[in-house]
Amino acid sequence: MREIILDTETTGISPDDGDRIVEIGCLEVDHQVPTGRTFQCYLNPERPMSQGAANITGLTDAFLRDKPKFAEKVDDFLAFIADSKLVMHNAPFDMGFLNHELAMLGRLALDNDRVIDTLEIARTKFAGAKNDLNSLCRRFGVDNSGREKHGALLDSELLAEVYLELKGGRQPGLIFKQDQLDSNDLETTHTSIAARPRRPASLSSRLTQAEESAHKDFIKNLSAPSKWLAAD
């Protein structure tokens, strides 16, 4: 099943106050395995960044000034997500902004029925614990050392790993090599030969001495030398 891990960065905390999306990051997974396909874009919000958002994301008005507007990227975005399930952390925040942007363009809203909220899953599994993305990364041993600032695509990549853990972890025996394999390639791991128990000793021969002698005489009479006899 195809799913899209999705995150947004914004100018502030509420579209009702005029805040806009400044970055969208999406990562495709198929049957809980990342395929390597992503969608990412920075957007000109047509308004200043709040100081709080600038501090969190590191994005500035000067950086965003020449970026495309949401209207210029909306078709690419909708084509990438298609009709797949959308996995988000604190989904009401991202969905509120996305549907506000779509409404401004007269587009249909994204249906909440297609959304999987990892924050809700985490709150069910770990009631009373911290369930922000950084806390979940620490809980599951996901390396988030590169997350000095929030970034939509980076956060989607981290969330993909957290989501797999929340779903029960990767299927044993499957390893994804994103930088080596095509999107549908899977490598099955096998138990190493060294890990298998060995016989304590060779099995004793069941041939009688007379049968073994007759067998060697037969081999000697063959026209070509025998590799088995040569090995004796």
- The response to whether 72 counts as a known ligand-binding position is no
DSSP-based three-state secondary structure for 26: strand
Task: Output the DSSP codes for 197-217.
Answer: PPPSSPPPP-S-HHHHHHHHH
- Which residues make beta-bridge pairs with 41? 24
Terminal-residue alpha carbon distance, the chain: 58
Is 190 marked active-site? no
- The response to whether 9 counts as a known ligand-binding position is yes
1 and 30 Cβ atoms separated by less than 8 Å: yes
User: Distances from the Cα of 216 to the Cαs of 56, 211, 213, in angstroms?
Assistant: 82, 9, 5
- The response to whether 94 counts as a known ligand-binding position is no
Of 31, 89, 100, 150, the active-site residue reads: 150
Label residues 177-196 b or e (16+ Cβ within 10 Å = b).
Answer: eeeeeeeeeeeeeeeeeeee
Q: Please report, in range form, the residues annotated as the binding site for a divalent metal cation.
A: 7, 9, 155
Q: Which residues are catalytic?
A: 150
Q: Please report, in range form, the residues annotated as the binding site for substrate.
A: 7, 9, 155
Q: Please report, in range form, the residues annotated as the binding site.
A: 7, 9, 155
